[in-house]
Amino acid sequence: MATLELSVQDEAASAPVRRKRKLGLLFWCASAWLAVVLALAILAPVLPLQNPTDMDMLERRAAFSGEHWLGTDGLGRDELARLIFGARVSLTVGLIAPMIGLGIGGALGLLAGYFRGRFETLVVGSMDVLLAFPPLIFALAVTAYLGQSIPNLTLILGVLGIPAFMRVARAATLTLARREFVIAAEALGASHARILLRELLPNVVLPLLAFFLLGVAVTIVVEGALSFLGLGVPPPMASWGSMIGEGRDSLDVAPRLAFLPAAALFLTVLAFNLVGDTMRALTDPRQGAL
């Protein structure tokens, strides 16, 4: 009897673990798309592409052909080359900006969640101020003042991402800071630095990384919006957002000029969201058996 019961329990316990391991077709499709986009973006300068800013002014809005695989845009520039070089901009900004948020916001959140007290009040208060400021207005003001360039754009979007990362890190730290293993470490006489770096950080970093992928998706969309408004990367550099903006003028003549970059943007953001969601489900500390 007892052995029978035990074997049933075993099966029940192992089933959810196996389900978690299975990531699903969608996840793999998304990862594959991201891998392709990343590879193209990184290899763009060595790929046999045409120059994305060279114009053939008499070959405007050309259809798909052997010479121009995806045709040409409103100024006769190769659409495929612009899409791939546009991916570089979108991914550079989309990956580096959340890293700024991850680094600064994560550290602040960890410290605030661990030390509490006045420091926490100050950090949370100042982050609330930053959150209350309309992000698009902030971005507009800074680009107008500092000028348009990829570093400036990245910096703005990175700073705007800090509060969100701070909140995720602080929430995770708050739940973890009272757990047995932290109290045990404290009892053993571990220093604050050791507790933060060796006990808390490895556990906080997992949900932060999952959130980072969602942050990448959001940042790519915001970069697209800014470029669409003409406040993103300076022309003639291509970015998906600015390509959509330029294509809008010829929507009824050559709709592909707006739809191709829009599709690339949509698929990439969707892929980052799917991967991020799966990672978050895998690393959520509430479910974890720490």
Partner 1 sequence: MTNAAAAARRLAPIFLVTAFALGPLAQTAHAQKQGGSITVGLEIDVPGFDPLKVGVYDAAALTPAAAIFDTLTYLDDKGVAQPKLAMSWTHSDDFKTWTFKLRPGVKFHDGTPFNAEAYKANFDRQKDPGNKCRCAFYIAAVNNVQAPDELTVVYNLNDPSVNYPTLVSYPNQNAAVHSPTAWKTKGDDYNRNPVGTGPYILKSWTAGDRMILEKNPDYWDKDKIYLDRIILKPLPDAQSRFASLQSGEADLIWDDEYDPDNIQKAQKDPKLTVHSYTGSGAQVYAFNTKTPPFDDVRVRQALVMAIDRKKMSQAITNGLAKPATNPYGDGSWVKCKDDGALPLDVAKAKALIKDYGKPVEFKMVVTATPRGRIIGQVLQQFWKNVGASMELDQVDQATIPPRAFMRQFQLIPWRIVDLADPDPQMFANFHTGSPVALANYSNPELDKLLEHARVTAEVDKRIEDYCAATRVINKEAIWFWTFQNTYFAVSSANIKGLPKMYSGMIDVSRVWKE
Which residue ranges make up the site for partner 1 (CB under 8 A)?
A: 53-55, 57-58, 60, 74-76, 148, 230-231, 234-236, 245-246, 249-253
Task: Give min distance, CB of 60 to partner 1, in A.
Answer: 6
| Closer residue to partner 1, CB minimum distance, 75 or 209 | 75
| Closer residue to partner 1, CB minimum distance, 207 or 247 | 247
The one-letter amino acid at 239: S
Token pair of 182 as six digits = 């932290």
Task: Give min distance, CB of 54 to partner 1, in A.
Answer: 7
| Closer residue to partner 1, CB minimum distance, 220 or 244 | 244
Are the C-beta atoms of residues 188 and 237 closer than 8 Å to each other?
Answer: no
| Residue 182: CB atoms within 10 Å | 19
Task: Give min distance, CB of 190 to partner 1, in A.
Answer: 54
3-state SS of 219-245 is HHHHHHHHHHCCCCCCCCCCCHHHHHH
Bridge partners of 72, per DSSP, are 78
| Closer residue to partner 1, CB minimum distance, 74 or 135 | 74
| Closer residue to partner 1, CB minimum distance, 149 or 273 | 149
Integer CA distances (angstroms), 269 to 15, 215, 219, 273, in order = 32, 10, 9, 6
> In the chain, which residue ranges form alpha helices assigned H by DSSP?
2-21, 25-43, 79-100, 106-115, 117-132, 135-146, 150-177, 180-187, 192-194, 201-228, 240-247, 256-283
Task: Give min distance, CB of 119 to partner 1, in A.
Answer: 42
Q: How far apart are CA 194 and CA 271, in angstroms?
A: 37
Secondary structure letter of residue 51 according to DSSP: P
Residue 121: what are its φ and ψ, rounded to 5°?
-55, -45
Q: How far apart are CA 222 and CA 176, in angstroms?
A: 33
Task: Give min distance, CB of 159 to partner 1, in A.
Answer: 22
| Closer residue to partner 1, CB minimum distance, 74 or 285 | 74
Count, residues in the chain: 290
Task: Give min distance, CB of 144 to partner 1, in A.
Answer: 8
| Closer residue to partner 1, CB minimum distance, 135 or 234 | 234
Task: Give min distance, CB of 181 to partner 1, in A.
Answer: 55
